[in-house]
Amino acid sequence: MKWIKTFYLKMLSYVSGRAAQDIATAVELTRLALPIVERLAALTPTRSDDELVRLFQEYAVPGVDAWLQLPQEQRGRALMQVAATQLKRVAPDTVDRIIDLAVQAAVVESRAAQ
């Protein structure tokens, strides 16, 4: 996660005010999002229908039927949705754009570690 933090800190040197505050918050939330993202990826290695249904049920996230209609290669967004929902439960006062940024950064970090 060190390189993500370094990247964000470099971004902070180009922005100020609200944007800087949002990036700093996303950096902190990325630390919390990483284990969520890694667990979801482990639970859905093939992104099959059964895996998605089980995932949405386990995390009590509605709307699995819409995601099941997508081809498997587009189901990554479903995992992002579940991860964002879980992170929002941990940080309920955080706005969605920061939650989404933290989840996306965690996905990048997780993939880079593989």
| pLDDT digits 0-9 by tens, 66-87 | 999 988 888 888 999 999 999 9
When pLDDT is averaged across residues 36-53 and rounded to a whole number, the result is 93
Q: Does residue 37 have a pLDDT over 80?
A: yes
**Is residue 34 a contact partner of residue 1, using CB atoms and an 8 Å limit?**
yes
Average pLDDT, the chain: 88
**97 close to 23: Cβ distance less than 8 angstroms:** no
Task: Give the whole-angstrom CA distance, residue 95 versus residue 89.
Answer: 12
Q: What percentage of residues in the chain have a pLDDT greater than 90?
A: 56
pLDDT at site 97: 94
Which DSSP string do the residues of 5-64 spell out, in sequence order?
A: HHHHHHHHTT--THHHHHHHHHHHHHHHHHHHHHHHHHH-SS--HHHHHHHHHHTT-S-H
For the cut 70, the answer to whether the pLDDT of residue 47 exceeds it is yes
Domain residue limits, the chain: 2-113
The residues near 95 (Cβ < 8 Å, ≥ 6 apart) are none
